């Protein structure tokens, strides 16, 4: 597994690890865009744009907090909705990610992400959205 994929810069305020996202994987590997579809993203923090949660949260927008776990209202209704969707569709919880970040810190969180989302065949990242390793074709 390449350490450059799991970096603090790719952990979004909502707890999403952008390195696992299909749009980030496409962007980072130069996979051609599909017409009419947004298929590329540099990650929530690196691209400098407001992510879904940040657009709806004044504390994040005003830089009062860096991650949602720093807010006493976590999970807010927007994060709860996003988390529910990801748990149901992809078997991943952003709220659990945030709890782990808060309890154990960034280094331990990234280590856990590496163990959890590393391709058993080639050691690269397995996409959370489709369970696919884009390096070797492994599918969960």
- pLDDT at position 130 is 93
Structural tokens at position 75: 């999970």
Indicate whether 126 belongs to any domain: no
Indicate whether 128 belongs to any domain: no
Kindly compute the dihedral angle of the four CA atoms of residues 21, 89, 115, 20, in this order, to the nearest 10 degrees. 0
- pLDDT at position 33 is 73
Tell me the helices (H) and strands (E) count for the chain, helix number first.
5, 0
Domain count, the chain: 1
Instruction: Encode pLDDT of 97-127 as tens digits.
Output: 999 999 999 999 999 999 999 999 999 999 9
Q: Give the Å distances, CA to CA, from 66 to 52, 55, 82, 98.
A: 14, 13, 18, 11
* 65-102 b/e (C-beta count within 10 Å ≥ 16 → b): eebbbebeebbeebbeebbeebeeeeebbbbebbebbe
Residues forming beta bridges with residue 73, ordered by sequence position: none
Indicate whether 9 belongs to any domain: yes
Q: Which residue has the tokens 């991943």?
A: 92
Query: Does 94 score more than 90 pLDDT?
Result: yes
Indicate whether 132 belongs to any domain: no
- pLDDT at position 1 is 42
Structural domain range at position 57:
3-117
Decide: 41 and 127 in contact? Cβ < 8 Å: no
H/E element holding 59?
A: helix 58-61
- pLDDT at position 5 is 66
Indicate whether 85 belongs to any domain: yes
Query: Does 38 score more than 70 pLDDT?
Result: no
Query: Does 132 score more than 80 pLDDT?
Result: yes
- pLDDT at position 4 is 58
Whole-structure pTM value:
0.86
What radius of gyration do the chain's Cα atoms show? 15
Kindly indicate the confidence band of residue 2, based on its pLDDT and cuts at 50, 70 and 90: very low
Indicate whether 19 belongs to any domain: yes
- pLDDT at position 41 is 82
Q: Give the Å distances, CA to CA, from 59 to 44, 69, 132, 139.
A: 16, 12, 35, 38
- pLDDT at position 106 is 96
Instruction: Encode pLDDT of 49-90 as tens digits.
Output: 656 666 678 888 888 999 999 999 999 999 999 999 999 999
Indicate whether 138 belongs to any domain: no
Indicate whether 139 belongs to any domain: no
């Amino acid at each position: 597994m390449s350490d450059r994929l799991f970096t603090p810069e790719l952990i979004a305020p909502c707890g999403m690890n952008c390195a696992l996202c299909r749009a980030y994987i496409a962007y980072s590997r130069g996979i051609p865009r599909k017409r009419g579809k947004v298929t590329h993203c540099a990650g929530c923090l690196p691209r400098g744009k407001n992510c879904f949660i940040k657009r709806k949260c004044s504390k994040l927008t005003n830089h009062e907090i860096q991650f949602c776990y720093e807010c006493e209202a976590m999970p807010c209704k927007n994060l709860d909705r996003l988390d529910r969707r990801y748990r149901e569709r992809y078997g991943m919880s952003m709220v659990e990610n945030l709890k782990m970040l808060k309890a154990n810190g960034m280094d331990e969180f990234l280590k856990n992400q590496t163990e959890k989302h590393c391709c058993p065949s080639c050691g690269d990242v397995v996409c959370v959205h489709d369970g696919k390793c884009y390096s070797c074709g492994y599918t969960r």
